[in-house]
């Protein structure tokens, strides 16, 4: 049902009797309005839009036929062959319509869907300001389902660490299903009871997210399948436990929007986001601030990425009954949609950062406990004292205002007394960081995240910390940088990693990470200082060289980041061994090294009396004139006039060299083009690849100020999503390309032309 819809902005009564054939043909997921990357208005996509799909229903005699919309922003009015089937709210939850048998024809049925994307104040999150956007369209897939009158409406499965399997099937009728449990293709057990025991279960864990399938079948052949995992989650005052193993939850919040098309992206792009978040070291993601795509959640199941979800909202609670009833419908819809995902460990039942409202939230907690007895619920606040009706107190801790302080002491979060405590946001607006910012700022974003993560490990009482946020996101005029983007991501909107993403990745153990978080370009810093270099790394030590001559070895900064699995390494001596050749006495060499490093990294204006009293005598003892001092400074610190200054960094683990980086003058750049996948498949809907384009210098470093213009063209059944003339932003961008339908396997090409020449990315498409 996802290919070949007709689409037009607006709605007129005449669309009902006469097909929309002459209008544009589109595929789902679809953005009703494509917006620029930034500098647009939230008014641009608010409106009415008509979609129409023609379909046959020949083989479905005697069956009930449903159409299911996974996600439509915001409301939809559905007509079948011109007959009104009613208006519903979808937003972020699926909506299902029964297609009446007296209207349904064997052939050429016309399903007309009128989408209204106005920000309706009677529907959460609307009513006040909202720091995110709700792009219009049928933005998630649509499916048709034909079932017998007696059928399984819903199936809810829970498997525990001990192998206890509980199944709840809602059947429209008296029959009871037979349940079959499969491990891959292998039938493990057949049973009919609502509870059974499975011996020697293969558990679902972060390292090995093993999935089982449960099939429920009625005698009439109706069947429903659920993929799930055996695992037990519990939040306690002492933290979070998965299968009784304590896990510090370290992760990121995710908004679901992509460039140009908002959330209208199919499975492969959703999976790609989950992969990036997991691959860069997070073990948890919060679907802030609304239920997200089933494809995203399924990817989390497969990748071992834990999830906490959240009801749509943002700080505001509506007073009128309609708003509050819609809140409750969203909550019930979210639980029903998400309760089979093993990655989901708790429901966010409270509007993000909203005030206490015991009536609304008391009911929400009750709903969770009734509908899903296996998972706790949580509530996110940005204040420390509050009624905590939920099972878990979540607190957005924005106390990190520099690199010296991470999180407030957990005891100060008084409302959390007697409850588990999870930090659901930190950083974000406290330190917006663009890909075009200076190296020091980009590095500091990472250090600030590390400082918080350090404190999350420090306090046993804190279950974990989830940073704000994974990806930069488009937002309302009231927020962001005046261009409708909040630059709060550790990745940019195109999913290119900022150094902060490597701060997360450096905490992993399954690969070597050695990322130079800020490059030595003094001219980029105030006072032209050669600021200390930071490495986000899991190496045990690094050896630092200048022009291939050893300066000094450096070790993880355990003083400032004692609780991190892998503290970053700070390089703050650019002279080290090199000074030996000047022949100063060792004691004086030490003082002069200190003096040059201090002046070079902190600035001459900051040399106080005590320092002068230490530095000046050492200069006098060695008869260093001002000219000589300057010459030494140029040679060892600034490199001015030196033929070439390049730095080499060797990373060591267990005494072995495991990584090597180099940085020197960047005199040119090239475009590195990589696609996240090169085989694309049209399945239930079109497929998408993310083609990353980075301007890289001779040392594989990103050139953040390269703003090369690019022209994009495609050949074969492939299309660029968004504009075809673009420029690099912060030295990089990404192009999402999508497939078109094809009868036989084909080759698609993305051709990128720039001042640097022509580059091609080839895809096989079926």
| Sign of the torsion angle spanned by Cα atoms 584, 590, 591, 592 | positive
**DSSP codes of every residue in 580-615:** GGGT--HHHHHHHHHHHHHHHHH-GGG--HHHHHHH
Q: Residue 272 is inside which H or E element, if any?
A: helix 267-279
Say whether the peptide bond before residue 518 is cis (omega within 30 degrees of 0): no
**Cα 435 from Cα 524, distance rounded (Å):** 14
Q: Whole-number minimum distance, CB 460 to ligand GAL, in Å?
A: 25
Q: Whole-number minimum distance, CB 130 to ligand GAL, in Å?
A: 9
Q: Whole-number minimum distance, CB 440 to ligand GAL, in Å?
A: 21
Q: Whole-number minimum distance, CB 365 to ligand GAL, in Å?
A: 20
Q: Whole-number minimum distance, CB 353 to ligand GAL, in Å?
A: 5
Question: 71 or 432: whose CB is closer to ligand GAL?
Answer: 432
In the bound state, the residue with its beta carbon closest to ligand GAL is: 428
Q: Whole-number minimum distance, CB 469 to ligand GAL, in Å?
A: 7
Q: Residue 217 is inside which H or E element, if any?
A: strand 212-217
Q: Whole-number minimum distance, CB 66 to ligand GAL, in Å?
A: 34
List the catalytic residue out of 425, 444, 515, 708: 425
Question: 386 or 638: whose CB is closer to ligand GAL?
Answer: 386
218 in Cβ contact with 150 (< 8 Å): yes
**Cα 651 from Cα 636, distance rounded (Å):** 23
List the catalytic residue out of 294, 353, 390, 708: 353
Residue of 766, 763, 671 whose CA lies nearest to 715: 763
Half-sphere exposure of 114 (CA within 13 A, CB side): 18
| Those residues with Cβ within 8 angstroms of residue 700's Cβ, 6 or more apart along the chain or in another chain | none
Question: 277 or 702: whose CB is closer to ligand GAL?
Answer: 277
Q: Whole-number minimum distance, CB 173 to ligand GAL, in Å?
A: 44
461 in Cβ contact with 420 (< 8 Å): no
Strands 392-396 and 377-381: parallel
Question: 94 or 291: whose CB is closer to ligand GAL?
Answer: 291
425 included as an active-site residue: yes
Sheet of 164-171, strand order = 152-159, 164-171, 195-197
What does each C-alpha distance from 400 to 258, 283, 395 come to in angstroms?
A: 28, 22, 13
Q: Whole-number minimum distance, CB 424 to ligand GAL, in Å?
A: 8
| Those residues with Cβ within 8 angstroms of residue 341's Cβ, 6 or more apart along the chain or in another chain | 228, 297, 298, 300, 301, 307
Question: 131 or 515: whose CB is closer to ligand GAL?
Answer: 131
Q: Whole-number minimum distance, CB 131 to ligand GAL, in Å?
A: 4
Measured CA angle at 307 (ends 304, 308), to 5 deg: 165
45 in Cβ contact with 30 (< 8 Å): no
SS3 content of the chain, % helix, strand, coil (to 5): 20, 35, 45
353 included as an active-site residue: yes
Q: Is 338 helix (H, G, I), strand (E, B) or coil?
A: helix
Q: Whole-number minimum distance, CB 398 to ligand GAL, in Å?
A: 7
**Cα 95 from Cα 70, distance rounded (Å):** 7
**Cα 555 from Cα 563, distance rounded (Å):** 15
Residue-wise burial string across 350-373, b where 16 or more C-beta atoms lie within 10 A, e elsewhere: bbbbbebbeebbebbbebbeebbe
Residue 329 DSSP class: H
Question: 382 or 403: whose CB is closer to ligand GAL?
Answer: 382
Question: 34 or 352: whose CB is closer to ligand GAL?
Answer: 352
**Cα 260 from Cα 32, distance rounded (Å):** 11
Question: 289 or 531: whose CB is closer to ligand GAL?
Answer: 289
Question: 483 or 662: whose CB is closer to ligand GAL?
Answer: 483
Q: Which long-range contacts (CB under 8 A, 24 or more apart) does 186-191 make?
A: 188/212
Binding site for ligand GAL (CB under 6 A): 131, 288-289, 352-353, 382, 396, 425, 428-429, 468, 488
Question: 129 or 746: whose CB is closer to ligand GAL?
Answer: 129
Q: Whole-number minimum distance, CB 237 to ligand GAL, in Å?
A: 24
151 in Cβ contact with 64 (< 8 Å): yes
Q: Which two tokens stand for residue 434?
A: 């663009």
Q: Is 474 helix (H, G, I), strand (E, B) or coil?
A: strand
Burial zone of 54 (CB within 10 Å; 0-12 exposed, 13-18 middle, 19+ buried) = middle
Residue of 687, 689, 678 whose CA lies nearest to 764: 678
Q: Whole-number minimum distance, CB 382 to ligand GAL, in Å?
A: 6
Question: 229 or 428: whose CB is closer to ligand GAL?
Answer: 428
Question: 168 or 384: whose CB is closer to ligand GAL?
Answer: 384
336 in Cβ contact with 154 (< 8 Å): yes
Question: 354 or 454: whose CB is closer to ligand GAL?
Answer: 354
**Cα 305 from Cα 277, distance rounded (Å):** 8
Residue 335 DSSP class: H
Sheet of 569-571, strand order = 514-516, 533-537, 569-571
**Catalytic site positions:** 353, 425
């Amino acid at each position: 049902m996802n290919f070949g819809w007709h689409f037009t902005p607006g709605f007129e009564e005449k669309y009902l009797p006469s097909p929309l054939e002459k209008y544009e043909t589109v595929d789902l997921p679809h953005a009703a309005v494509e917006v620029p990357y930034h500098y647009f208005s939230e008014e641009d996509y608010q409106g009415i839009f008509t979609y129409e799909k023609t379909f046959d229903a020949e083989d479905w005699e005697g069956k009930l036929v449903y159409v299911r919309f996974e996600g439509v922003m915001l409301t939809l009015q559905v007509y079948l062959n011109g007959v009104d089937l009613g208006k519903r709210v979808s937003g972020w939850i699926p909506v299902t319509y029964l297609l009446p048998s007296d209207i349904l024809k064997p052939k050429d049925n016309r399903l007309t869907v009128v989408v209204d994307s106005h920000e309706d104040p009677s529907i959460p999150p609307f009513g006040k300001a909202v720091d995110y956007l709700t792009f219009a369209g049928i933005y998630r897939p649509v499916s048709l389902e034909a079932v017998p009158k007696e059928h399984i409406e819903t199936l809810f499965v829970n498997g525990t660490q001990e192998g206890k399997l509980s199944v709840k099937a809602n059947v429209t009728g008296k029959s009871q299903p037979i349940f079959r449990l499969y491990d891959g293709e292998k039938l493990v057990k057949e049973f009919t009871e609502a509870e059974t025991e499975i011996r020697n279960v293969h558990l679902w864990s972060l390292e090995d997210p093993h999935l089982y399938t449960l099939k429920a079948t009625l005698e009439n052949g109706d069947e429903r399948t659920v993929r799930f995992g055996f695992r037990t989650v519990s939040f306690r005052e002492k933290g979070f436990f998965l299968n009784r193993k304590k896990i510090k939850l370290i992760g990121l919040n995710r908004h679901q929007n992509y460039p140009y098309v908002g959330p209208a992206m199919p499975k492969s792009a959703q999976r790609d986001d989950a992969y990036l978040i997991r691959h860069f070291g997070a073990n948890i993601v919060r679907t802030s601030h609304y239920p997200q795509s089933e494809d995203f959640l399924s990817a989390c199941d497969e990748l071992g990425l834990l999830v906490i979800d959240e009801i749509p909202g943002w700080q505001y609670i509506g007073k009128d009954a309609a708003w509050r009833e819609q809140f409750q419908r969203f909550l019930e819809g979210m639980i029903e949609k998400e309760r089979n995902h093993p990655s989901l460990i708790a429901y966010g039942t409270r509007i993000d950062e909203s005030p206490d409202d015991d009536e609304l939230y008391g009911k929400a907690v009750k709903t969770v406990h009734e509908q899903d007895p296996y998972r706790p619920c949580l509530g996110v606040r940005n204040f420390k004292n509050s009624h905590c009706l939920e099972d878990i107190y979540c607190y957005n801790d924005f106390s990190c205002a520099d690199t010296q302080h991470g999180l407030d002491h957990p005891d100060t979060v008084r409302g959390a007394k007697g409850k588990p405590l999870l930090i659901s946001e930190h950083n974000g607006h406290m330190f917006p960081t663009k890909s075009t910012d200076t190296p020091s700022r980009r590095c500091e974003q990472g250090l600030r995240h590390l400082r918080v993560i350090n404190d999350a490990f420090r306090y046993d009482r804190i279950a974990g910390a989830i940073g704000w946020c994974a990806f930069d996101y488009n937002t309302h005029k009231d927020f962001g940088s005046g261009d409708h983007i909040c630059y709060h991501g550790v990745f940019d909107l195109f999913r290119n990693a900022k150094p902060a993403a490597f701060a997360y990745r450096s905490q992993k153990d399954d690969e070597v990470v050695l990322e130079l978080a800020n490059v030595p370009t003094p001219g980029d810093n105030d006072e032209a200082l050669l600021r200390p270099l930071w490495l986000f790394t899991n190496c045990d030590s690094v050896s630092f060289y200048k022009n291939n001559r050893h300066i000094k070895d450096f070790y993880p900064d355990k003083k400032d980041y004692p609780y991190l699995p892998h503290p970053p390494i700070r390089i703050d001596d650019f002279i080290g061994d090199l000074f030996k050749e000047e022949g100063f006495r060792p004691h004086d060499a030490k003082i002069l090294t200190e003096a040059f490093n201090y002046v070079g990294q902190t600035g001459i204006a900051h040399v106080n009396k005590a320092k002068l009293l230490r530095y000046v005598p050492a200069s006098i003892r060695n008869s260093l004139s001002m000219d000589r001092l300057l010459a030494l400074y140029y040679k060892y610190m600034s490199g001015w006039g030196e033929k070439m200054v390049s730095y080499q960094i060797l990373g060591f683990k267990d005494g072995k060299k495991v990584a090597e980086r180099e940085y020197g003058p960047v005199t040119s750049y090239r475009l590195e083009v990589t696609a996240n996948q090169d085989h694309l498949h049209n399945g239930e809907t079109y497929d998408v690849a993310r083609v990353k384009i980075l301007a890289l210098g001779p040392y594989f470093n990103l050139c953040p100020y390269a703003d090369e213009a690019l022209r994009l063209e495609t050949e074969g059944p492939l299309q660029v999503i968004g504009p075809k003339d673009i420029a690099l932003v912060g030295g990089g961008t990404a192009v999402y390309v999508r497939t078109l339908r094809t009868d036989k396997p084909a080759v698609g090409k993305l051709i990128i032309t720039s001042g640097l020449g022509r580059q091609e990315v080839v895809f096989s498409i079926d």
